[in-house]
Structures are given as C-alpha cells and as structure tokens.
Amino acid sequence: MSETARRRFTASRLPSHTGISAWTAMLPPPVLRPELEGAATADIVVIGAGFAGLAAAWQLSRLDPAVNIVVLEAGAIGEGAAGRNSGFIIDLPHEVSADDYGGVSLTRSRQAIMISRSAIALAGSVAEQQGWGRDIFDPCGRYSVAISAEGDHHLATYAQQLERLGEEHRLLDADEITAVTGSASYTSALFTPGTIIVQPAAYIRGLADALPASVRIFENSPAVLLEKNATGWLVKTPQGTIHTGKILLANNGHAESFGFFKGRLVHIFTYASMTQAFDPALLVGERKWAATPALPMGTTVRRVAGTDGDRILVRSRYTYNAGQTVSAASVQRAGALHDCKFKARFPALGNVGMEYRWAGAMAVTTNAVPAFGEIEDGIIAACGCNGVGASKATASGIAAAELALGIRSELSDIYAGFDKPRPLPPQPFATLGAKLTLAYREWRAGPE
C-alpha cells in the first residue's frame, strides 16, 4: 500500500439507529447545532459526541483552556448510542459473575475500579457545575438482582470479592428486594452504593451544553474522509472541511468504518423497551431504582419516576451484527422477549404496554481491552468500550485527551499498559464464534 493510500481513510458506512429511544422521546425537542459548512481549522478534532467524545472535549478544555477543539457528531446530540444506553455509570466490575473474577488480582480489580471512578468524577463535576437534579444525575447506587439459585450463588461470591477489596455493599434477601422493586420474582440482590444513574440522553445533551466556548460542536456532520497533509490532517464532512493537527477518534465501532482495528472489533447490539407511563399506585415498592442482572447477559430493569406516571425499562437480548446495523424486525423480536420478562416480573402491570423499543450498538474486543492509543501519527483512538459504555467510554475519552496533550496520570498509565485488541478468527469462524458465544451466554443466563 502506498504512503498516500495509507494516510487517506474514507468512511465505508455511517452510523444508523433503529427504533426511537425513550430517553430522547421523553425530552423536549432540542435546539440543533449547525452543520459544518465551508472550511475551518482546529487544534484537535473529536469525531463522535457520545460518552467518549464529550468526555475528551471536556478534559481537553479543562487541561488546556487555550486549545481550539471541534467536535463532529454524525447525527443529533443524544440520539446516538450514548442516548440509547441504560444509564448506569457503574463504579465496580459490571459482570459480577464473570467466571474469572475470583482469580483476578486485587491490583487489576482496583485498576478497573479506578477507571470507572474517573468517569464518575468527571460526570459528578459537570453535574455539580451545571446544577443538575436527580432526574439527570442520581447517585443512588444500583442493585444486582438474582432470579435463580445460580444467581444467588454468584451474588454471594461477588460479595466476598467486594469484602476483599474493602468495597461497601449489602446483600438483600427475597423479601428485602421485593420491598424495593415490587416484584416477587427476585430471590436475592446485592446493593452497591457507588453507581450513578443518569437519564442518558439528557446527560449527553447537558454535557455538550456545559462545554466552554473553545469547543465548537457541529451536528449532522459525519466525518467521511481523513487525509494526511503536510501540516496535519484534513477532515472532510459532506458540507465542509477542517484542517487540524490531531484527530481524536471517539466513534466506538465505527472506527472500523475508516479501516482502523479491522478484524479486531466484535459489533454487538443490545435491545431495550420502555413501558407507557402508569399510575404509581399500581406497583408497590420504591418509585425509582435500577437493577442489573446477577448473571451476564441477563435482564436489566429500571423503574423511572415521572410527573406523568412511572415507567419500567427492560433491557435484554444481544445480537452480533458485523454490518453495524439492525432491522426493525430484530427490534420487534427482542421486544417480544422483553414483554415476557416484564410480565413475569410485574404481573400487577398486566395491562401496561410498551411504548418505546430500540436498539443500541457497542463494540467489544475478544481480550476485553479498549481499542485505544495513537493509531496513526496524530490520530488517537478512544473506542471499543466493551460494554458498560457510560463508564468505560468516558474514561477512555479522558485518557485520550491526556494522551493528546502529553499529560501523564494514573489513568493514562493504566491505559498505556493495555494490550492491543486481539485479532478475530478468519471468516466465517468469527461470525459463527460470536453468534454461538452470545447464544450460549443467553442460554446460561436462563430466566435471569
């Protein structure tokens, strides 16, 4: 490959989203920012205005207020993958029942916690500065809930690991978690107080609004070409161009659309449904709580209190989609599963239907490391969130900003020590392996 070809990266596809996220639908219509038109310049261009991209812009502007930053968002702020998230900024390892968790060293576990708490610290500082209420940013903690004997065992085992780490936690029996959720289906739960619960679309919009004037954001302005020149990089959008010294790539799986990390990212979609608003009197228990499953790839549930009534979020089902798109039929099939899980957990809400259904993309690596670092001279990637995007993508954005400015910290040192993403097997084995793994893990989760 010639030097010219190697330094010219054209997007093979643009992000697309299936279904309307309830988080966006429940907000007032936004005042859209302009599209990029004509020629512009910037010290750093951030591609992607999700958790990673906006965290990077925030950290860049905080560390060097003089740096001129442009953020390019392919769609509208809050309507991408970040606004389709379930809204958990989790401070502890997410898969509480991961098979190897008991063998992970305390040092590695504490590094994972430090990564997540770096994200929480950034989110908390923005929330305090902006005066957000608990409808956007709620430090209420989370429950990990079990619905089977296997789930009970995993929660008890994980509680022992938290004891070793010195992390605050509380185990709940069936009656105690029923009092919280109003659901008699849960057999036990583990409460950890450090998780932040956000309204993800409102959070992303608010973070964008909180950025200083040194950060210019352009919506509906997808980067379609990155081209190296004598002074840096030229970034092209459908209607404009930007000359910049550095590019911070914060578009998660779509980094592969430019040819980066090719054959190293597994593209997975998760699915969610949210009910119509219902009278809070129909369901006993607390009006606001958030629960992740005891077993990996189980069912996440949130109760969301609102002025027009309460709603239940159900998230379950995972599919492998190498083309980074899913059909409306896939969303409907996942929705049928959500309906079954919802009815099993909340029979008292039998007449309450789902109002919104949607899909959201994430990118994972087979060795569970981020797709991170300087991948070309002047291009820094903060991609491959490996799930738990609100936490890990935010931290990746922070670390990428520090790398761009040549600043070292405990967080950036952790990221510098990560291995590179491992290559996937050749096709068709990569597709077969991904689909079989997802199917097995969903089967293993059972009723969870």
Contact 190, 155 (CB under 8 A): yes
CATH fold group of domain 8-83+201-264+367-432? FAD/NAD(P)-binding domain (3.50.50)
Does 348 have pLDDT greater than 80? yes
Tell me the pLDDT band of 12, cut-offs 50, 70 and 90. very high
pLDDT tens-digit readout, 140-189: 999 999 999 999 999 999 999 899 889 999 999 999 999 999 999 999 99
**198 vs 136: CA distance, rounded Å:** 5
pLDDT tens-digit readout, 388-420: 889 999 999 999 999 999 999 999 999 999 999
pLDDT value, residue 144: 97
Nearest 10 degrees: CA dihedral of 200, 89, 423, 15? 10
* Region of 3 on the Ramachandran plot (φ > 0 left; ψ -120 to 50 alpha; else beta): alpha
pLDDT value, residue 94: 56
Burial 291-307 (b: 16+ CB within 10 A, else e): bbbbbbbbbbbbbbeee
Tell me the pLDDT band of 5, cut-offs 50, 70 and 90. very low
What one-character-per-residue DSSP string does 57-87 give? HHHHHHH-TT--EEEE-SS-TTSSSGGGS--
pLDDT tens-digit readout, 350-393: 999 999 999 999 999 999 999 999 999 999 999 998 888 899 99
Coil/strand/helix, residue 373:
strand
Q: Residue 13: which residues within 8 A CB-CB, separation 6 or more?
A: 254, 257, 323, 324
Strand partners, 142: 192
pLDDT value, residue 6: 58
pLDDT value, residue 432: 87
Contact 59, 29 (CB under 8 A): no
pLDDT value, residue 81: 95
**Going by DSSP bridges, is the β-strand pair 69-72/215-218 parallel, antiparallel, or unpaired?**
parallel
Contact 197, 86 (CB under 8 A): no
pLDDT tens-digit readout, 100-120: 434 446 778 889 999 999 999
Say how many C-beta atoms besides its own lie within 10 A of residue 316's C-beta: 23
**Going by DSSP bridges, is the β-strand pair 38-47/289-293 parallel, antiparallel, or unpaired?**
unpaired
* pTM reported for the whole predicted model: 0.94
Contact 238, 267 (CB under 8 A): no
The mean predicted confidence, pLDDT, of the chain is 93
Tell me the pLDDT band of 422, cut-offs 50, 70 and 90. very high
Contact 275, 25 (CB under 8 A): no
Coil/strand/helix, residue 199:
coil
pLDDT tens-digit readout, 300-347: 999 999 999 999 999 999 999 999 999 999 999 999 999 999 999 999
**309 vs 315: CA distance, rounded Å:** 20
pLDDT tens-digit readout, 86-103: 999 999 975 433 344 344
